[in-house]
Structure 1
């Protein structure tokens, strides 16, 4: 979106992520294949970046301090995520919604286990009826500013890996206004990929390491 006023880059990123999360009621690992053979109608775009970027959680500055985010359990981001988690348990309809990781990012492996239960997927992002969308927005606004180029490269490497592992319609991320936006399902408004299919799950497992911390719920 283009505005004539300056906006806080963290808030802008949060809005982009909120749109990605709440627009499509599917698991946020998010866009997946519709069957064992997903080769028909495959979409291949720019695959020039295939290496896995170094995870911020693993990188260390010269002074020995982690560059991967806030201190575990003490940051504004972690606290905001915990408010979201508590809302999901109390008002969102998911009493077993898992705690965030120590980095403050949500643990989508565990979240998707909850969402995979019968009739549990509809509100897995934002709560049933959108009960916790405000808490989710606040948590994303509190996230430390990310390197958008590294996020883009990470998601691009992941998209290529997904296609190489059988989910050929998995689309590339894009850059818009300096912000990385996730790829995945070619038609998010009417998803054609199935996150619960064996082929998709196998590809996700093979490509798990391609995504930086905090991106695993984006595409």
Structure 2
């Protein structure tokens, strides 16, 4: 059986699937996924959010027992254990101390079927519930800082020779990653030497939790 290394293009397609969740524009498949603290009127709550007194939604990652960074890390570990067990990805790495997944290591894993299972919660999304729980529990981020980080990274990628690399955008107060102009039909060769050298040169531009985003 031919083994394929996981690709950012595959993960970007995964992100597209989560775009239907309005406040998860920065969702990075359980750990690359970010939510901003901005909630626009009329935006539906995602599963796991609780309505506040004004009819809005309160994020699960607030203070209190079982919440915050510790709960986020624990939820990510549940996802990691699921990926190692049910999904059969024995070498799936531990999350960073911040709770975010380590995409530098994840990208080196083999994808036996070539379908992106390693970045999609396993075959038939067997670890999807654990993935989404971790996404919901991620502590709130500063969307403007995330946008500036993604923009600096995109600019660096173009400067390093990946001319088609797109800038991020802002949508409803959320930073939406850039990267390939068409994630569903990738135009950027992520296996090229130029791309890999650019990734290495520009990785310092990304804030923790944004690696793997674009």
The verdict on a shared fold, with TM-score over 0.5 as the criterion, is yes
Question: Runs of 5+ in structure 2 lacking a partner?
Answer: 1-20, 33-68
Aligned residue for 1:103?
A: 98
Q: Distance in 2 between matches of 1:92 and 1:151?
A: 31
Q: Distance in 1 between matches of 2:185 and 2:114?
A: 19
**Segments of 4+ moved more than 4 angstroms:** 117-121
After superposition, the C-alpha distances for 1:10-36 in whole angstroms (9 at most, x for unaligned) are: x854x3244x649xxxxx8xxxxxxxx
Question: Runs of 5+ in structure 1 lacking a partner?
Answer: 1-10, 23-27, 29-73
Q: Give the number of equivalent residue pairs.
A: 156
Contact 2:26 2:175 in 1 (8 A): no
- Structure 1 residue 196, shift from structure 2 partner: 2.0
Q: 1:216 to 1:88 in 2, by over 3 A?
A: same
TM-score, normalised on structure 2? 0.67
Q: Distance in 1 between matches of 2:78 and 2:112?
A: 26
Contact 1:21 1:218 in 2 (8 A): no
**Structure 2 residue aligned with 1:16, among 18, 25, 28?**
25
After superposition, the C-alpha distances for 1:95-151 in whole angstroms (9 at most, x for unaligned) are: 110000011010011101114x66466212122222212211111111110000000
Q: Distance in 2 between matches of 1:205 and 1:131?
A: 32
TM-score, normalised on structure 1? 0.66
Contact 1:93 1:128 in 2 (8 A): no
For 1:180, what is the secondary structure of its paired residue? Answer: strand
